[in-house]
Chain A
Amino acid sequence: MSAARDKILARIRTGLGRGTLPRESREALDARLDGAFKPDEPLRPRLPDKPLAALFRERLESVAGTLQTLHGEPYIPGAVATYHASRQVTGPIAVAPSLQDLDWSATGLEPRFGRSHGEELLCVSRAFCAIAETGTLVLLSGPENPTTLNFLPDHHLVVLDAADVVSHIEDAWARIRTRDADWPRTVNLITGPSRTADVEQTIQLGAHGPRSLHVLLINSPRRS
């Protein structure tokens, strides 16, 4: 490989006062890396004793996110239309292809399914899971869920299944690792709308990303 690479690695080894690591050491490090050996169980902050979805909601709201519960996926288009009207959003909307099979015909919204190019002021995506510890949504990129939907609109609506709320950040990693697909290009952990405090430490929402983040929590009565 490159000369710079070799020089840097050599300098690191000199700095550490040794040569290349012997094979046994490397194997031990690889076992740690591949999860076969865990030096310590991750230290997870203790969470208050309440249902995960309730804790998720509480922490999401503490960072200016909002949430509404729906009793099934068929209600999603209606809820989006109501939000659209209540916020007086104008222009087209973009929706993740993962939600294309729903019946959008009655809403009069005529969504575009796919990525955003910045014209849409409202976009809808689907979360892979959510983290109660921090009130965080986890979204994975892919043709079903383009990343641009998460950052270009003023209003970002995210569909989340109540069964997909996990307790800690580590649980989200475990889920991504065991899902039946390659590692996605982008994993977005989203906690509230975009914000900045760069002008006189005053918090202002909607710096470059969405000004508002609204979660549609699907809690099917059948399952619960």
Chain B
Amino acid sequence: MHNARSHEFMTRAVEALHDETLRTALGRAKDGFVLKRRLAFDALPEYEQLRDRSVAIKNHTLEHLDHYLERYEQAVIRQGGQVHWAENAEDAQRIVVEICRKAGAKSVTKGKSMVGEEVGVNAALEAAGMEVVETDLGEYIIQLAGEPPSHIIAPAVHKTKGQISDLFHEHHAKYGLTKRLTEIPDIVNEARQVLRQKYLDADVGITGANFLIAETGSNIIVTNEGNGDLTNTLPRVHIVTAGIEKVVPTLEDATTLLRLLARSATGQQITSYTTLSTGPRREADFDGPEAYHVVLVDNGRSAMLRDEFREMLRCIRCGACMNHCPVYGAIGGHAYGWVYPGPMGSVLTPLTIGLREAKDLPNACTLNGRCAEVCPVRIPLPDLLRTLRHRQFQHHIGTRRARWALGLWSWLARRPGLYHGITRWQARALKWLSGRTGRLKAVPLAGHWFKGGRVLPAPQGETFMDAWRRREKQS
């Protein structure tokens, strides 16, 4: 099963807030992502129209998902490939291991695949005695560190140069590379050198898919490093792992989405490499894999079609929502405890591993709405998070104290006179408590709220209603 640690969210979030190195790394990344994305869309007047089109394409595909998946499957088979269907993570693991076993694989290279992370392909292959090497530099770094990704497009965003250098020093000695590296070009070069041999030695290459094309039976991957291409070209067997929602009807449909994907993710017009793979190598080809397999993964997706969470299936995994999330920006991806962090993860994780296991995630949101504003496919993430909170309340999930407080609040909110009286008293008391600083570092009965070093700006001593009345009188 999944080895999620989402139930530890509170503790790990507090730890993250005290981790200075992490905060430096996150701060640097966030500014870069936000600025680059904005510049890219400033230069694209068609942005809003492209978003509308993308929403329409995704909605159309989801409404007819059964048909497009069948057509996609036919096209893959026509091109000489094989399609496997996995209901859940265990199915997917079993299918991938079986294909690798049949191919007599000893060594497997992997291009970055979030579905691969989701279903835990690496652990399964290693348990079956195979060597698995992540080839995306970020994924490679966290594989050495034995950590899950902390961002869906920049998995090692939480690591500093010094930490990466230490990891290479520790793990590359066995290749005779013992120099401690301090410069980024040297770090990248050493990874290039080590991984080059891995690509050439690999028996099987596993990639994800950004899109599956029903028209041609192709999968599309977008990368900047070229690692995905070495992974899907050099080994004898190419396996694609993809969620069932990745299918789109035509190449034109994928193109519309591609125009938003790279801009939303990294601020690029298009990534260095956008690659369509269709079936195995053709008879006369000198290179390319001899076999092509696609593993279509459901793992909870089909169940999301039935209600408002269908909207989440439009997600193209661009990462913009987490880049603009103040909570993610403060605590990073690991606190979320599973493979998908940030706003999209706070929706997906409870739906996939359970609302109880991930009970804190829907609540780790200020409902500021930035994520929905930047989401290229207009997923109403805050609304979905609110729906999850509602479900938690209905299913009696959450601490007794929180439920009691919510109950009290709703009782009070229905009694305006009492409500105004109490809030007036509260505003005054909090102002008095804050003293001259205007900031609260502790409040009676709310000690744990301030544990992460949080500071609350104090009210100015007057409620909104009072201020309003006073102004009315003045004018």
Chain A residues within CB distance 8 Å of chain B: 2, 4-5, 7-9, 11-17, 20-21, 25-26, 29-30, 32-35, 39-40, 42-43, 45-46, 59, 63, 114-115, 117-118, 133-136, 141-143, 146-148, 150-152, 169-170, 173, 182-202, 204, 206-210
Contact = CB atoms under 8 A, between A and B. Distances in A.
Q: Which of A29, A133, A147, A193 has the most CB of B within 10 A?
A: A147
Interface in B144-158: 154-157
A2 B230 contact: no
A33 B250 contact: yes
Contacts of B157: 201
Contacts of A173: 251-252, 255
B170 interface: no
Contacts of B68: 29, 33
B67 A29 contact: yes
B284 interface: yes
A142 to B, nearest CB: 6
A208 B189 CA distance: 9
A194 B196 contact: no
A209 B274 contact: no
Interface stretch (B85-93, B345-353, B364-372, B433-441): B85-93
A198 B142 CA distance: 11
A-B pairs with lowest CB-CB distance, top 6: A209-B226, A15-B305, A207-B225, A11-B302, A198-B138, A189-B274
Given A4-B91, A15-B303, A208-B226, A186 B233 contact: yes
B83 to A, nearest CB: 8
Given A7-B87, A15-B304, 15 more contacts: A13-B66, A16-B65, A39-B60, A46-B46, A141-B285, A147-B288, A151-B226, A151-B233, A186-B277, A197-B266, A207-B227, A208-B192, A208-B195, A208-B196, A209-B272
Given A8-B298, A209-B229, A114 B250 contact: no
Interface stretch (B24-32, B118-126, B395-403, B464-472): B24-32
A12 B68 CA distance: 12
B258 interface: yes
A207 B188 contact: yes
Given A173-B252, A183-B216, A189-B270, A196 B84 contact: no
B79 interface: yes
Contact of B250 (A35, A142, A147, A182): A35
Given A148-B234, A185-B278, A199-B161, A42 B256 contact: yes
Given A173-B255, A200-B25, A185 B230 contact: no
A25 B67 CA distance: 10
A interface majority secondary structure: loop
A115 B255 contact: no
Interface string B387-429: 0000000000000000000000000000000000000000000
Nearest to B32: A201
B276 A187 contact: yes
A143 B270 contact: no
Contacts of A117: 200
Interface in B299-349: 302-306, 310
Given A8-B244, A45-B46, A194-B224, A186 B188 contact: no
B21 to A, nearest CB: 12
A45 B44 contact: yes
B463 interface: no
Contact of B282 (A26, A33, A185, A200): A185
B19 interface: no
B447 interface: no
B306 A14 contact: yes
B303 A200 contact: no
A152 B184 CA distance: 21
Interface string B250-271: 1110011011000000101111
A43 B53 contact: yes
B284 A16 contact: no
21 contacts: A9-B66, A12-B66, A20-B66, A33-B249, A33-B250, A35-B250, A114-B286, A117-B200, A142-B284, A147-B233, A147-B288, A148-B286, A152-B230, A169-B258, A185-B282, A187-B278, A198-B156, A201-B157, A208-B199, A208-B225, A209-B227
Contacts of A59: 269
Given A9-B69, A209-B226, A209-B229, A136 B270 contact: yes
